[in-house]
Amino acid sequence: MTTATDERAGSSATTPGVRLQRWLRRHGWTIGVWLLLLAFILWYATLIPAFGEFQIASIARNSLPTVYLALAQSVVVIAGGIDLGIGALMVLANSASARLMEDQGFAMTLAIAVGVVLGAALLNALVGLLIAVSEIPDVVVTLGMLFVYSGLALLVLPSPGGGTSPGLRFLFTGSETGVGTNYWMPILMLALPTALLAWWMTRSRRGLSLYAIGSDLGAAYLSGVSIRRAKVVSYAVAGGFAGLAGIALTTLANSGDPRFINALNALLASLAAVVLGGIVLGGGVGSVVGAVAAGIILFTLNPILTAMGIDPNTTQVVRGVLIVLVMMVAGLLEWRRRRAE
Amino acid sequence: MREAAPQADLLRTHEVAKRYGSVVALRSASLAVAPGEIHALLGANGAGKSTLVKILSGVVGGDAGTVDVHGAPVELRRPLDALEAGLGTVFQDPALVPDLTVEQNLRLTGVSPERVRGWLAHMEVDVPDLDTLVKRIPLPILRLLDLARALAHEPELLMLDEITAALPGDYVDTVFGVMREWRAQGHSVLFITHRLGEVLEVCDRATVLRDGADVATVTPSEGDERTLVEAMLGEGAPTRTAGHRERDGAPEGPVVLEARGLTARTALKGCSLELRAGEILGVVGLEGQGQERLFDVLSGDRPFEGGELRVEGQPVKPRSPYDMIRRGVVLVPADRLHALLPQRSLRENLASALYNTVGSWLTPVRGERPAVEGTIERLEIDTRAQRQVRRLSGGNQQKVAVGRWLAAGFRTLLCFDPTRGIDIGTKEQIYRLLRELADDGAAILYYASEFTEAPVICDRIIVVYDGAVVTELDPAEADEATLLNAAHGLEENVT
């Protein structure tokens, strides 16, 4: 695996060229996914007669829930877990916020939004604690939570309904009515949480501890990382982002929808985004930034296929083929690189 | 000076004990390290050295006993506690997270990269760029990074658990230089190694552990290797009975398995052996001398890079264990549950190897029942808990691991520490079984981590050291002291 060149690659005097090369190689997947997204958007632009601010704003705001959920799942997967309850937690946050925010003013809805995000984080932290203490596999516990959260959502909001304030809708979608051409607000809401999370994951000691437990439990423990705490933190952060996804959904639709199928769709989209985004199931490798692009790509497929005049029902097929195709290409590239070494 | 009052000691452990389940790893270990000394911790395989270090570094909790630092008792519940008490450790296995860069690893542990870089420069190591992923860094450099990181914590006591095992010679000297310098600064080093030459070279004192307890603390000086080995073995080392060797004068069988200069990464450095039909060839070695890789390579589990492997005269380059199983070379590994299907029944496990002989999807396995029943009878396997193999006792599990090859047929048996953690009665049964198999013409390669075993059941003994077979011994002459000396690579230095 390691070669003599690696051993000597080194010395303190690394040239900027070498640094750039290594940076490109290390973040190759993330860059690749973003380029793919760019290609998709350009393709979309050529498909429709007029591509402009409206389309950008539409893509940005409608992919918000998927992106937040992709971020949530990324954190858990990087830390070596998997959260099957994340979609249902989003639906719960969506239902609860829509019910509580109906007919409230902006300040109140903002306070409720903060409360829902913190509540979701706390709820999922308890799930993380349960996993850490009982050492029951993540899949099992979170599968149970999928049903628990879904049931709670139906208790909170038995049928679709509820609402929110125009001010909060503007905050997430850039428009008080949910339609419009202001794309700065949704793009900011995409970029800011992503940047914060990415920075925290790779720079802070706590964030690095999530990578550490996902990469090698033994080495992490010997490095002084508290395995349990890191596990709980990963689920708490994921819960917070699921709460955010629920709020985004409320502002997009100006209502809540507690149906189980939403939870399942959102969960599968989050897993697809994580895989497509280059995060290794099993933990330790990948960047949340890649998952964001993958989340947007998965969403963009809908308008592209519609624009091409293809039956929207084939979207799922295309999604599946895209995921497998990307994984195969990546596998091929990796294989060629290994052989070259 | 050396016999100073207790409170002058930097570290003092008193009757520390630890058991894992029913296995006692440490019975009662007391150790005192003075400020400003390099103290060696010695002992044969399984004497409890690593367990003691794990307790002192907060990785595992002790069951009994006390640890004092500067005369004050400390509680070591987590690795962090040990660091705060001034005990820094370089573990046997690298403690750097492979998917993070070096710089991120340092941030994870709260160590300043500047200090680490300073130590690396001081060691005159070709400083790797700290922005490199750990998994891309070669093992020797990683060990030195581990060392530099431990030093950056400025521990009063630096504990090095077999750091030299994975290092080439020039880096060993580098590490010695650091140890001496650390001593010169008034700090101490606890140094664990299997290489007695290193102890004589750098250590001021040495504490010897035997069977989980400290038996001696000596000041080693030139020519003391024998004394140290004797301390490790104890004067009352059990004398062997001649055991089952009744083969004197028997004709030698043909060579069935032959290795010539096998190399594999850093683990094997030109390993050669010849295994004949009808013999039990013992392999003896200290931990980490390449014996595990040797068995992995011979069983087809891992590839070898250089050298040649022949089965019954035919060169073989196995790509998977199946390639070797087809040629009649089968493995009984140390980890029994690793080899078996723990959730499945005794009979299924015994029959599993038979399936290798069936060609297509629809051909039924012939003679499964008689083969299985015959094996159970022959090995006297206790069938009371037969529904799930994991419920069988360790000894019975090991019988199943051997038995499935018995049911399927084989010509060469590779046994890697098959009696680890098995009671004496079952051990005897396994010895007898192996002898019977050899008498029937099987070739058996046998590694045991306990040095007392090989002379009892083997016809010849080879010693591995540093990835190669260094010498061959006649079991009649191989008492434990001779074996231990040879295993320490002392043959060429001393005799």
Residue A17, domain member (yes or no)? no
A-chain residues within 8 Å CB-CB of B135? 1
User: Crossing angle for the helix pair B480-487 and B225-233, nearest 10 degrees?
Assistant: 120
pLDDT for res A4: 37
Q: What is the structure's pLDDT at B495?
A: 37
- B290 with B267: CB under 8 angstroms? yes
Maximum separation of any 2 CA atoms in chain A, in Å: 68
Say whether B79 and A216 touch across the interface (CB within 8 A). Answer: no
Q: Tens digits of per-residue pLDDT, B94-115?
A: 789 999 999 999 999 888 888 9
Q: Where are the domains of chain B?
A: 6-233, 255-494
CA gap B56, B68 in Å, rounded: 10
* Rounded mean pLDDT, A28-38: 93
Residue B225 has pLDDT above 90, yes or no: no
Predicted pLDDT at A132: 94
Q: Which residues of B touch A (CB under 8 A)?
A: 59, 78-80, 83, 91, 93-100, 104-105, 107-110, 117, 126-129, 131-133, 135-138, 141
Structure-model confidence comparison of residues B485 and A234, the more confident one: A234
What pLDDT, in 10s, does the model give residues B226-235?
778 778 776 5
Which amino acid would we find at residue A200? W
DSSP label at B4?
-
Phi, psi of A293 (to 5 degrees): -60, -40
Note whether ipTM > 0.90 here: no
Rg of chain A over Cα atoms, rounded to whole angstroms, equals 21
pLDDT over 90 percentage in chain B: 30
Residue A143 resides in a domain: yes
For A221, which of B79, B104, B135 is closest by C-beta distance? B79
Q: What is the dihedral of CA A31, A32, A36, A42, to 10 degrees?
A: 50
| Average pLDDT value over all residues in chain B | 84
Number of domains in chain A: 1
Tell me the whole-structure pTM to 2 decimals: 0.78
Residues of B with CB below 8 A from A14's CB?
129, 131
Asked if A251 contacts A172 with a C-beta cutoff of 8 angstroms, the reply is: yes
Distances (CA, A) of B161 to A145, B211, B351, B372: 44, 18, 43, 46
- Number of Cβ within a 10 Å radius of residue B418: 24
Number of A/B CB contacts below 8 angstroms equals 94
A12 touches B at CB < 8 Å: yes
pLDDT score for B264: 86
Query: Is A261 within the bounds of a domain?
Result: yes
Choose, out of A6, A8, A222, A225, the residue to mutate when testing the contact with B (most B CBs < 10 Å): A222
Of all residues in chain B, what percent carry a pLDDT higher than 70? 89
Which has the closest alpha carbon to B206: B227, B179, B185, B184? B227
- Residue B286 predicted with pLDDT over 70: yes
List CB contacts (< 8 A) between B91 and chain A: 222
| pLDDT confidence of residue A37 | 95
Of B108, B129, B138, the CB nearest to A205: B108
| pLDDT for residue B485 | 82
- Which run of H or of E encompasses A279? none
In this structure, is residue A248 part of a structural domain?
yes
* Sequence-separated (6 or more) residues with CB below 8 Å from residue A188: none
Asked if pLDDT for residue B223 goes beyond 90, the answer is no
CA distance A286 to chain B (A): 9
Query: Mind listing the pLDDT tens digit for each residue in B323-374?
Result: 898 889 999 987 777 788 888 888 888 888 887 766 667 777 777 888 888 8
Residue with tokens 């009982």: A134
Three-class DSSP category at B481: helix
How many C-beta atoms surround the C-beta of residue A36 within 10 A? 16
**Fold (topology level) of B6-233:** Rossmann fold (3.40.50)
Whether A10 sits inside 8 A of B105 (CB atoms) is: no
Find which of B59, B100, B125 to mutate to test the A interface (most A CBs within 10 Å of its CB): B100
Q: Which residues of B touch A214 (CB under 8 A)?
A: 99
* A45 lies in some domain: no
* pLDDT tens figures, A256-304: 999 999 999 999 999 999 999 999 888 899 999 999 999 999 888 888 8
Phi/psi class of residue B333: alpha, beta or left (left: φ > 0; alpha: ψ in -120 to 50)? Answer: beta
Residue with tokens 């996993």: A131
- Residue A271 is assigned to a structural domain of this protein: yes
Q: Hey, is the C-beta of A10 within 8 angstroms of any chain B C-beta?
A: yes
Give the model's pLDDT for residue B45. Answer: 67
What pLDDT score was predicted for residue B87?
93
Phi-psi region of B319 (alpha: psi -120 to 50; beta: other; left: phi over 0): alpha
Q: Which residues of B touch A201 (CB under 8 A)?
A: none
What is the reported pLDDT for A10? 41
The pLDDT value recorded for residue B350 is: 87
Residue A149 pLDDT greater than 80, yes or no? yes
Contact A219 B83 (CB under 8 A): no
What architecture (CATH level 2) is domain B255-494? 3-Layer(aba) Sandwich (3.40)
Q: How far apart are CA B331 and CA B272, in angstroms?
A: 19
Task: Tell me the shortest Cα–Cα distance from B364 to chain A, in angstroms.
Answer: 37
Order the strands of the B443-447 sheet from edge to edge.
B329-332, B412-416, B443-447, B280-284, B460-465, B468-473
DSSP assignment, residue A27? T
Same fold, B6-233 and B255-494: yes
Inform me whether the pLDDT recorded for A156 exceeds 70: yes
Range of the domain at A224: 53-309
Contact A212 B97 (CB under 8 A): yes
Asked if the structure places residue A339 within a domain, the reply is no
In the predicted structure, residue A5 carries a pLDDT above the cut 70:
no
Q: A283: left (phi > 0), else alpha (psi -120 to 50), else beta?
A: left
Test B132 with A10 for CB contact under 8 angstroms: yes
Model pLDDT for residues B110-153, shown as the tens digit of each residue? 888 889 988 988 888 876 688 888 988 888 888 899 999 999 99
Q: Does residue A335 belong to the interface with chain B, where contact is any CB pair within 8 Å?
A: no
Asked whether residue A281 is assigned to any structural domain, the reply reads yes
Q: Which of A211, A223, A287, A337 to mutate to test the interface with B (most CBs of B within 10 A)?
A: A223
Q: Measure A204 CA to nearest chain B CA, in Å.
A: 8
For strand B314-315 and strand B306-311, is the pairing parallel, antiparallel, or unpaired? antiparallel
Predicted pLDDT at B451 = 78
Find, among A219, A10, A25, the residue nearest to B131 by Cα.
A10
Residue in the block written with tokens 């084989």: B410
Q: Would the CB atoms of B108 and A7 count as touching at under 8 Å?
A: no
